[in-house]
Structures are given as C-alpha cells and as structure tokens.
Structure 1
C-alpha cells in the first residue's frame, strides 16, 4: 500500500465514506470474491465493480469535486483507455520510482479496511 496513487487518494479524499484496502487484507478475504490476479485498481461503489480505466475515472469522480471533469474520459473508447491503463500499470515502476514507504497517518488508518 505504499503506492503514490494510494498516498494521493488519502491526501485529497473528501468523501468520508470512501475506503481503501488491498487484495491481501482480511477485509477483502471476508467480503469479496475478487481475484488478485486481475492486476488492476478495483473501484467498488454500491454493487458496481469497475476495473482498469473505468476504475480510475470512477475513483476520481468520488475523490474530490474538482476531479469530476475526468468523467470526460468516457468519451475515449474503452479499448483505448484500458490499453493505455495496462501499459502504464505494466511499466509503473519505471515511470514512478519510490524509495521508501511513508508511515501511515491517521487519515490513512481511518480509510483502510483491514
């Protein structure tokens, strides 16, 4: 959970009902039938499950009112959006170098489902 995306989500989140977890958490094991091999960010809102580029768009919309224009990403064909997502995901360690994991702050602890 050291990714910069997660750190960014915690930093700008304005939704008190938005939580994060990972595939290995006890919460996921007890409450989800998602498979960790999906290799994608997964966004769950009520009963709707979004993956790949759709998950990024839906998460952005939920995170902060100023990110709502990202919904325009739906104008880009899904195949193209998902292809770009997969390229970035596959090469994320080349693009985004991370030296060390930041310590979890109180906001992170409140958002994390374990």
Structure 2
C-alpha cells in the first residue's frame, strides 16, 4: 500500500470533471483514490510538493498524483482506469496509441467541455460519507 493515497485533482467547476469524479467514486471498490479540486489550496500544496506548476485559472487536465509521480492528460485517465481494477483495467490498452495522439484528443475534449457539459459557479461539496476522501 502506498504511503499516501492516489489523489485525483480535477477542475472543480467542470460538469464533465465532476461526472468523472462521481464515476470513479462509484467504481473504486477499494476506495484507493482521494480527490481535490484543482482550485483548492490542498491541490496547490500537493502540486508544489511534487515540483509541478500551479494550475491555470481554467485547468485543462485531470491530474493523478500516485506513488510520488504526477500524471496528466490521457496518461492520468489510463492510470486511473487501471487503478479501478476489473474490466476497467482493459482501458490501459489505450497506451498502444502514441501519447501525442491521445493527448491531442484529450485536449480537444477539454477545450470544449464547458460548452458541451456546462460548468458550476463553485466547486462541488462532498457528501458527509465521502468527505474523508476529499483533501
């Protein structure tokens, strides 16, 4: 077991990102992932501890911090899918596609996510039973 939990950093006002977090919560049977909005001080501190730049005002990537490594864009999604176990591990086969191609598709969706899925005025608040999994 890693010394600190695998942490997913996400755009807290993005409806697509919030939906992704809800998906991970539903499928993370081992409760190995923790979460923080990229807009939060906790996320900024975690990124700084790992020597990563602070997110832009409108972040363009989900970030996974796991075992001292930082993953972004398509690589973060593939690592998260593998971490969910079961059938979701099969999505890791996406690594056969060149990363520049995967990341280009990821960035295209990220550029349009507010237009397609909308955004909130503030970051989501976890329910009391999920609060321990949010930084």
Q: What is the TM-score normalised by the length of structure 2?
A: 0.70
Residue number in structure 1 paired with 2:42: 27
Deviation at residue 69 of structure 1 after TM alignment: 0.3
Greater strand share, 1 or 2? 2
Q: Is the 8 A contact 1:14 1:63 kept in 2?
A: yes
Residue number in structure 2 paired with 1:15: 30
Report the RMSD for the aligned CA atoms in angstroms. 2.5
Greater helix share, 1 or 2? 1
Deviation at residue 8 of structure 1 after TM alignment: 1.3
Aligned residues: 113
Q: Residues of 2 paired with 1:26 and 1:18: CA distance?
A: 18
Q: Is the 8 A contact 2:82 2:92 kept in 1?
A: yes
Q: Is the 8 A contact 1:15 1:64 kept in 2?
A: no
Match of 2:95 among 61, 65, 74: 74
Give unpaired runs (5+ residues) of structure 2: 1-11
Give unpaired runs (5+ residues) of structure 1: none
Q: Residues of 2 paired with 1:23 and 1:98: CA distance?
A: 14
Q: Residues of 1 paired with 2:104 and 2:72: CA distance?
A: 12
Deviation at residue 96 of structure 1 after TM alignment: 2.5
Deviation at residue 5 of structure 1 after TM alignment: 1.1
Q: What is the TM-score normalised by the length of structure 1?
A: 0.81
Matched, 1:36 2:55: yes
Q: Is the 8 A contact 2:64 2:71 kept in 1?
A: yes
Residue number in structure 2 paired with 1:109: 131
Deviation at residue 102 of structure 1 after TM alignment: 7.3
Regions of 4+ moved over 6 Å: 98-103
Residue number in structure 1 paired with 2:5: none
